Structure 1
Amino acid sequence: MTFRPSRKRAGLAILAGPAALALMVTGCSSANEPDPQSTSGSGTLVAAITADPDTLFPWKATQFQAVNVLENIYGTLTQFDDELNVVPGLAEKWEPSEDGTQVTLTLRDGVTFHDGSEFDADDVKHSLDLIRDEATAAVAAASIGSVTDVEVVDPLTVTLTLSAPDAGLMANLANVNVAMLSSDDTEEDLNTEPNGTGAFVYVDRTPNQSIKLEANEDYWGDAASLSSLEFRIIADETSIVSALQSGDVQFAVLNDPLVAKTAEGSGISVVGTPQLSYHALQLNATKGALTDVNVRLAMQCAIDRQQVLDTAALGEGEVTGPITSPAFKSDPEARPCPERDLDKAKEYLAKAGMADGVTVKTIVSQGSYATSVNEAQNLQAQLAEAGITLDLEVLEAGAYVDRWIAADFEAAVALNGGRPDPDGMYGRYFPSTGNLNQVAGYNSPELDALFAEGKATMDADERKSIYDEISQHLEDNAAWIWLFTSYTYTATTDTVDGFTPMANGSLQNLRSTTVSN
């Protein structure tokens, strides 16, 4: 396989000037910014994904497959370039006030939604107000939690008032969970007929089979190099490789390194890319025996993370701490048991009054990503040696997401998306006010204070120190058990060209991909 350098060997060239400075950028522009109103291309690309998106409403999308589809349909105020620098999106520039408590955004002129209606400041206010509204249950509400007011200055100008300076705000606005929607649309409408400003227009959907898009000829930037794009649902990665070999599909992102090696051996082009996403055993500290920190620490000490990585992903990745954002990366050795220590694990269990053992009910997704069941079985075997029983419940992807969102689990084997800014990664999880704190299952006054400080601090070195403290607190309390980061493997036939993989797993570069049918 063709691998880009791993972060351990070379480091990722991400965030020229860390995300901490993103808010301070004035009159932002980018050499990669597309020319407006380009002509759309030709050719149809069929891309395989392993699960049918569980929603087409961008504000509630947590499933990787749903996010990958929706980021090709919807636009965001800012966006990331290939190296995850924050660059203009639907906002062509932004200007912070001197004290950092206001940001004025200048919107692009002439942008339209796919239904032909104009995008303007009213749509921005509508979108941001509803995302912040608790009744919406938007998964990224906390990502823009610093926004207290959205004022329409004129049709192309919006001023955001903040409760305090927010170093991560502009990076958070680049996520499709904060997509800009038309003020005329409802969640019910968009779950059946998506209407965005992105490079591709929704055409139709056959449940559990395919979602078809076509190029948006009125896209504000460089129009897609493809005339149409189909996401075809093929649940098994081995079957995806067969479809690539037969030419039924031309593109796929694989998670299983063994399948990726098989694909490359059959003549398919495979490129491995290290990811910011992280594998974890997510513990819900509000449930059952996990309310006792000693039980959680016992589990942490009983696990050899490298063994999980080697068993589930052939060693293709790195053992990780909580924060994978390159400018803020956690030290995986800075934890109570950096190496597996069964004696220490048993001491913690005895301290919890559970020397005879404990059972933890654990949900596992089958279909969301390829290594989940192998990870779960290895964790189960390792923990059993310490007297800890993982009672595994394997669920199909949609049922797993439903249980996860409802925090209906004691533990969950999870693959969570990483982000360039650590507030975007965890600001919605671990502060007590985070809209996904119920899912995280852990908070503390110390974390609340640290997260608030991390958002409000603009100095990059100071922010790094703050997030080091956050990481240490999470590890010392075994809020979750962080395991490893891994690769994704972009598999293409020889008819495909021009796709650039990204470390955040985005498929936004399908808009610059070509195919010779």
Structure 2
Amino acid sequence: MKPITLNGTVGPKTDSMVYSMHAEQIPSTGAGHRRPVVRPRRRAAGVLHLCGGGAPGRRGRRAVDGGTVRIGALTDLRPKTLYAAATTAEQSVSGLVIDALTSYGTEDSTAALTPQPVLAESWDVSGDGLTVTLHLRPGVLFHDSTPFTSDDVRASLTNYADPTHSGQLARTAALISEVDTSDPATAVLHLDRRVNNLFDLFDIVPVIDDKEVDAFNAGTGFNGTGAFRFGERHPGASLDLPANEQYWGGAPRLDDAEIVVVPDERTLYSQLRSRQLDVVSDAGARDAEALEGNDLFRVLDRTGVDGNIYAGLNTRHPGLTDVRVRQAIGSAIDRDHILEEVFRGRGRATSLPWPTYSSAYDEAANEHYTRYTDRARQLLAEAGEAETIPEIPVSYTAGSDSEQNIAQIIAANLDEIRLRTRLDPQENAVMIDRLRGGTFDGLWVLGHSFAQYTPSTLSVSAFLFNSEKNASNFLDDNYATDATDAWTVADPDGPEASTIYRRLNKDLLEDAFILELVALDSPLVTTSALHGVTWSKRSELDLAHAYLTE
């Protein structure tokens, strides 16, 4: 294999990926670092001295009430696309400002898919799975002090089900034919069909005020029930999220959180290093590696937040309509080289989307697309002369060093089997719009999540894999049948489901419309002055119990 020269420093992926990677790079321990921004607390509170487990890395630091946590984001919030929660800004708003009905744990096991109460305090499911009764948490107020009721549940689920709003689980939400709200404290859901990923939907759908639905859709109103409120926004620069003093889970110890837009990866890292930022969710493997062991920062392993880097293929491109060409590309790509060169070995090469703890994970099938150039050439020979295949654009997010380097590796790999390519950098907004609209010109490099949920959620919901409509414009009756069977099997972890998942994996490998590359570790980088940061299954930040030290 000829050497590949990568442009720029291998750095973080852009937060245009459908999940977030995380980490950063290393400052010295000398002078010049900013202390955390700590303003006077709006409510009376004492200063707590830390002791025992969970104390900060340096002795003598004190926990303080108040302060601002600054969250670095590569792209600005696109208010109308909050349902996608594809960027750090979107994930921060959906995680901090708005609550869900239930939530999952973040353990690396199927046990994590046991729903926990959030706005729904408890629930009952009928034997046939067609009626779900949600008993709502009492005393919850929206940020404008409006009480939370079952009307808000109905409005939130109905709005999410509208396919024009790009909610990835809209197909599941659309199965809810009626929501009985006769009791303000109880929402009774009636479904047209029993499916096994309903609580995935409850974990993901933002619950909004039923009187503010139009404002939410327009991107002008975010009246949630979360620990922080939607505050003053400076487009392209920052968004303030003041603490919600009447939060049902107890007022946060922080004064506020601030999303700071830093559109350049190197500047993002530099601002973290100089303590102008407290949290970064868009950093690269080299940065994480450099920061580990430095007591000014923490590199947190975000368990349960599983995401993959992949190469998508538009099956309408004249060079990609033949499945043999797509399979040849899958065999030509050097996943191990991408893993080691771009991600410093932080992850694993993969052919299928599933994390190792998923019920759909198959270790043998996961090795299907190891690098095998002879096989790739044979497949191309069967499909016709490689020289006759039209040039294939390789799209990636402009300004993302990691995506650029992956695209360069793929282009070099395809050159070895005599496929012509053209690197095609695009702005983040263009990449996301093409993803949602299925309008990529050829091949593209991005990241995805959703494989950490019930397996059916991937194949009936995610933009990439939805068997009814996906970014690759791939439609196939067998795949649609297997996706539906995975969705409706009663026990998604049982033996019947295992048989269905084997068929589904066969579809994904043989149809080759999405080529998985690397399953990534998912580190999160914070300053050592920030404590108590957690995250959702979907990688949304949770600062409800976070605090700063000085």
Give the TM-score normalised by structure 1: 0.85
- Measure, in 1, the Cα distance between the counterparts of 2:436 and 2:330: 24
Change in Cα spacing, 1:335 to 1:109, as seen in structure 2 (3 Å) is closer
SS at match of 2:525: strand
Q: Is the 8 A contact 2:459 2:465 kept in 1?
A: no
Query: What is the match of residue 511 of structure 1?
Result: 544
SS at match of 2:521: strand
- Measure, in 2, the Cα distance between the counterparts of 1:385 and 1:201: 53
Query: What is the match of residue 240 of structure 1?
Result: 268
> For 1:72, which of 84, 96, 110 is the aligned residue?
96
Query: What is the match of residue 8 of structure 2?
Result: none
- Measure, in 2, the Cα distance between the counterparts of 1:87 and 1:439: 32
Name structure 1 gaps, 5 residues minimum: 1-38
Shift of 1:302: 0.8
- Measure, in 2, the Cα distance between the counterparts of 1:490 and 1:134: 32
Query: What is the match of residue 43 of structure 1?
Result: 67
Query: Equivalences for 1:49-64 in 2 at 5 Å?
Result: 49-55=73-79, 57-64=81-88
Q: Is the 8 A contact 1:241 1:263 kept in 2?
A: no
Query: What is the match of residue 8 of structure 1?
Result: none
Deviations 1:82-105 (A, max 9, x none): 434421121111111111111111
- Measure, in 2, the Cα distance between the counterparts of 1:328 and 1:449: 19
Change in Cα spacing, 1:204 to 1:194, as seen in structure 2 (3 Å) is same
1:202 aligned onto 2:225: no
- Measure, in 1, the Cα distance between the counterparts of 2:358 and 2:220: 39
1:323 maps to amino acid: W
SS at match of 2:281: strand
Q: Is the 8 A contact 1:311 1:375 kept in 2?
A: no
1:127 aligned onto 2:156: yes
> Which range moved further: 371-380 or 254-263?
254-263
Q: Is the 8 A contact 1:336 1:475 kept in 2?
A: no
Shift of 1:73: 0.8
Shift of 1:64: 4.5
> Which range moved further: 440-449 or 43-52?
440-449
2:90 maps to amino acid: A
SS at match of 1:281: strand
> For 2:524, which of 490, 493, 504 is the aligned residue?
490
Change in Cα spacing, 1:58 to 1:325, as seen in structure 2 (3 Å) is farther
Q: Is the 8 A contact 2:222 2:230 kept in 1?
A: yes
1:295 aligned onto 2:318: no
> Which range moved further: 292-301 or 316-325?
316-325
- Measure, in 1, the Cα distance between the counterparts of 2:420 and 2:129: 50
Percent identity, aligned pairs only?
27
1:443 aligned onto 2:472: no
- Measure, in 2, the Cα distance between the counterparts of 1:114 and 1:292: 53
- Measure, in 2, the Cα distance between the counterparts of 1:212 and 1:431: 32
Query: Equivalences for 1:31-430 in 2 at 5 Å?
Result: 42-55=66-79, 57-83=81-107, 84=112, 85-175=114-204, 178-188=205-215, 191-264=219-292, 267-273=296-302, 275-320=305-350, 321-324=352-355, 326-331=357-362, 333-334=364-365, 337-356=368-387, 358=389, 359-366=391-398, 371-409=402-440, 410-418=442-450, 419-429=452-462
Shift of 1:364: 0.7
Change in Cα spacing, 1:464 to 1:504, as seen in structure 2 (3 Å) is farther
Deviations 1:225-274 (A, max 9, x none): 31210111123343233223322222222431112233447643323446
Query: What is the match of residue 11 of structure 1?
Result: none
Change in Cα spacing, 1:446 to 1:345, as seen in structure 2 (3 Å) is same
- Measure, in 2, the Cα distance between the counterparts of 1:285 and 1:429: 17
- Measure, in 2, the Cα distance between the counterparts of 1:206 and 1:72: 18
Deviations 1:280-329 (A, max 9, x none): 00112233221111111111111121111112111110112122372324
Query: Equivalences for 1:465-504 in 2 at 5 Å?
Result: 465-500=499-534, 504=538
- Measure, in 1, the Cα distance between the counterparts of 2:260 and 2:371: 42
Q: Is the 8 A contact 1:47 1:231 kept in 2?
A: yes
Query: What is the match of residue 26 of structure 1?
Result: none
Change in Cα spacing, 1:468 to 1:322, as seen in structure 2 (3 Å) is farther
Q: Is the 8 A contact 1:296 1:479 kept in 2?
A: yes
- Measure, in 2, the Cα distance between the counterparts of 1:464 and 1:110: 42
Name structure 2 gaps, 5 residues minimum: 1-44, 46-63
Change in Cα spacing, 1:434 to 1:222, as seen in structure 2 (3 Å) is farther
Shift of 1:390: 2.9
> For 2:490, which of 450, 455, 458 is the aligned residue?
458
Deviations 1:79-129 (A, max 9, x none): 123434421121111111111111111111222211222221111112212
Deviations 1:327-372 (A, max 9, x none): 32433642695321112111211222233253222321135x6521
- Measure, in 1, the Cα distance between the counterparts of 2:518 and 2:533: 26
1:284 maps to amino acid: N
Shift of 1:187: 4.4
- Measure, in 2, the Cα distance between the counterparts of 1:236 and 1:263: 19
Change in Cα spacing, 1:401 to 1:312, as seen in structure 2 (3 Å) is same
Number of aligned residues: 474
Shift of 1:441: 2.2
Query: What is the match of residue 7 of structure 2?
Result: none
- Measure, in 2, the Cα distance between the counterparts of 1:356 and 1:194: 53
Q: Is the 8 A contact 2:79 2:220 kept in 1?
A: no
2:206 maps to amino acid: A
> Which range moved further: 69-78 or 293-302?
69-78
- Measure, in 1, the Cα distance between the counterparts of 2:463 and 2:93: 28
SS at match of 2:320: helix
1:182 maps to amino acid: D
SS at match of 1:200: coil
- Measure, in 1, the Cα distance between the counterparts of 2:289 and 2:353: 29
- Measure, in 2, the Cα distance between the counterparts of 1:59 and 1:269: 30
- Measure, in 1, the Cα distance between the counterparts of 2:97 and 2:430: 25
SS at match of 1:173: helix
1:52 maps to amino acid: D
Q: Is the 8 A contact 1:284 1:441 kept in 2?
A: yes
Shift of 1:188: 4.3
Change in Cα spacing, 1:332 to 1:210, as seen in structure 2 (3 Å) is farther
- Measure, in 2, the Cα distance between the counterparts of 1:318 and 1:327: 15
Deviations 1:200-228 (A, max 9, x none): 10111112211110111121223323121
Change in Cα spacing, 1:471 to 1:432, as seen in structure 2 (3 Å) is closer
Deviations 1:460-510 (A, max 9, x none): 2232332232122111111211111112332222211122356642312x2
1:447 maps to amino acid: Y
SS at match of 1:326: coil
Shift of 1:170: 0.7
